Amino acid sequence: MPLTTPTEDAFAKRLLHWFDQHGRKDLPWQHDTTAYRVWLSEIMLQQTQVSTVIPYYQRMTNAYPNVQALAAAPLDEVLHHWTGLGYYARARNLHKTAQTISTEHDGIFPDSVEQLQALPGIGRSTAGAICAIAHHRHCAILDGNVKRVLARHSAIAGWPGKTAVAKQLWDIAESHTPAQRTGDYTQAIMDLGATVCTRSKPACTQCPVSTDCQAFIREETQHYPGKKAPKAIPVRQTLLLIIRNQHNKVLLQQRPPSGIWGGLWSFPECPDETELSNSCERVGVKIHSYQLTDTLRHTFSHFHLDYTPVHIRTHGPATRVADSSQRWVNPAAHGEIGLPAPILALLKALRSF
């Protein structure tokens, strides 16, 4: 559906007036605005709070000031800078997209939603944000914050993940997006959702569009947007094998490029204690002694992982020929490699174990 071009949409006018007075204008990606910097911030902000993203964003832009620098970097290094931010598929797609833009687009970001959406990890809303903020195009967005604002303002019932609900919200988003100051409007509506129309305890008295907000008028802000039907979250269990050699180094393996912690380095895994010997033999070591410690939990978006660290001392030198997917590292100086947050925490704990 093409964007409408209202000469003066009342919703947009009030929102822009509020943004001029109260909007955030000092975030790192709001300075020296380029398509690269907007894209990087939009990917990092997916399902992640601004306060968490800022130091990661600053490290990434210092390390990779432009898309060519990011494209040329080894994936391991990129994942290292991403360690702790979670949802690592974002980092892998970031790297793929940087390489595609460098090789197929001469290092220049496309300026249309359709072309941007064809790149890894860029959806319709992210593409719209890049076009609106960096290219000054008349494009709408619909990220999580915007969905919440619009669902409440127009009392759109249902979970936004449903196709019919999403279509309603996109239609509303497009109808409100002004032809002038589209970039500022885009920043404004994201800001409103992040700072005023928050998930819990929204500050409705401070909202510039509350006078005709249907959820506020009905005193039903807590009902919008609708929630996804809850599902029981499955639990997976594994043993993480913290194998030390005679030099007090530990063994890490690089995980397959796709799937959970794809491309990151982790400890070898084992399904249960009865398989310890076999699992160690597969990585080329024999057990001298081992000790199980307390089980810990890491929660992903769709399951819990209960992992039990097993500290293993080896008997004799490793028999497996070293390859690029396996390395012995010093827990205190493991190098610039991508590590999941739980593995990084275990390595830090090993220094005093």
Q: Is 202 exposed, middle or buried (0-12, 13-18, 19+ CB in 10 A)?
A: buried
C-alpha to C-alpha distances, 147 to 121, 172, 304, nearest whole angstrom: 19, 10, 27
Structure tokens at 37: 């910097």
Both structure tokens of 15: 């929102």
176 touches 12 (CB < 8 A): yes
Side chain identity at residue 230, one-letter code: P
Helices and strands per DSSP (H, E), number in the chain: 14, 8
Beta strand segments in the chain, E: 235-244, 250-254, 265-266, 269-270, 287-292, 296-299, 304-314, 326-329
User: Which residues lie across from 311 on neighbouring strands?
Assistant: 242, 291
- Bridge partners of residue 292, in order along the sequence: 310
- Marked catalytic residue, from 8, 42, 77, 219: 42
| Sign of the CA dihedral with 344 first, then 311, 294, and 297 last | positive
Residue 225: asked if its preceding bond is cis (omega within 30°), the reply is yes
Q: What angle do CA 274, 279, 285 make, to 5 degrees?
A: 120
Q: Is 42 an annotated catalytic residue?
A: yes
**Amino acid found at 119:** L
HEC readout, 129-146:
HHHHHHCCCCCCCCCHHH
| 60 torsion bin: left (phi>0), alpha (psi -120 to 50), beta (else) | alpha
- As annotated, the active-site residues are 42
